[in-house]
Structure 1
Amino acid sequence: MKQVKDYNISQEEFQLIYHADLDLYQTQFNKFESLDRYYESENYISHTDSKKSWFDKMYQMVKTFTIKSKWCLIKKNIQNKNITILDVGCGTGDFLKAGKKNGFNVVGVEPNKNARALAEKKSLTVKSDLSEINNIQFDVITLWHVLEHVPDYNDYINQLKKILKPNGILIIAVPNFNSYDAHHYKNYWAAWDVPRHLWHFSKKTFFKVSEKHQLKLIHIKPMYFDSFYVSLLSEEYKSGTKKLFKGFLIGLWSNFIGMWSKEYSSHIYILKK
Structure 2
Amino acid sequence: MITSPRPSDSELGKYYLSDDYISHTNEAKTLIDKVYLTARNYTLTWKRNLILNNTTRTENKLLDYGCGTGAFLHAANKDNWKSFGIEPSTQAREEAKKITNAPVYKSLDEIQDDTFDAITMWHVLEHVPDLNELLQKLKSILSENGTMFIAVPNHSSWDGKKYKAHWAGYDVPRHLWHFSDQTMTKLVENNGLKVKQIIPMKLDSFYISLLSEKYRRGNTTITGMIAAFINGLKSNILATKNGQYSSLIYIVRK
Classify the TM-score, shorter chain: over 0.9
Q: Tell me the number of residue pairs that the alignment of Structure 1 and Structure 2 aligns.
A: 250
Code of the aligned partner of 1:180: W
Per-residue CA deviation, residues 168-217 of structure 1 (Å, 9 max, x unaligned), is: 11111000110000100000001111111001011111221232122121
Question: Normalized per residue, which structure has more helix?
Answer: 2
1:127 deviates by 0.3
1:33 deviates by 4.3
Per-residue CA deviation, residues 113-151 of structure 1 (Å, 9 max, x unaligned), is: 111111111122100111111111111111101111011
User: Are the equivalent residues in 2 in contact too, given 1:82–1:104 (CA < 8 A)?
Assistant: no
| Among candidates 133, 139, 143, match of residue 155 of structure 1 | 133
Q: What TM-score do you get using the length of structure 2 for normalisation?
A: 0.94
Map of 2:150 onto structure 1: 172
Q: What TM-score do you get using the length of structure 1 for normalisation?
A: 0.88
Map of 1:232 onto structure 2: 210
Residues 210-249 of structure 1: pairs in structure 2 closer than 5 A? 210-242=188-220, 243-249=224-230
1:86 paired with 2:67, answer no
Map of 1:100 onto structure 2: 77
1:32 deviates by 5.6
| Among candidates 156, 161, 165, match of residue 187 of structure 1 | 165
Residues 52-71 of structure 1: pairs in structure 2 closer than 5 A? 52-71=29-48
In structure 2, distance between residues paired with 1:176 and 1:152: 19
1:121 paired with 2:72, answer no
| Among candidates 258, 265, 268, match of residue 239 of structure 2 | 258
* Percent pairwise identity: 45
Greater mean alpha carbon deviation, residues 108-117 or residues 54-63: 54-63
Code of the aligned partner of 2:91: N
In structure 2, distance between residues paired with 1:27 and 1:140: 33
Per-residue CA deviation, residues 10-56 of structure 1 (Å, 9 max, x unaligned), is: xxxxxxxxxxxxxx334432436421111111110000001233322
Map of 2:116 onto structure 1: 138
In structure 1, distance between residues paired with 2:93 and 2:9: 24
Query: Please, what is the CA RMSD of the aligned residues?
Result: 1.4
**Structure 1 unaligned blocks of 5 or more:** 1-23
Map of 2:250 onto structure 1: 269
In structure 2, distance between residues paired with 1:233 and 1:85: 31
User: Are the equivalent residues in 2 in contact too, given 1:109–1:129 (CA < 8 A)?
Assistant: yes
Shift in alpha-carbon separation, 1:251–1:92, aligned structure 2, 3 A: same
Question: Normalized per residue, which structure has more strand?
Answer: 1
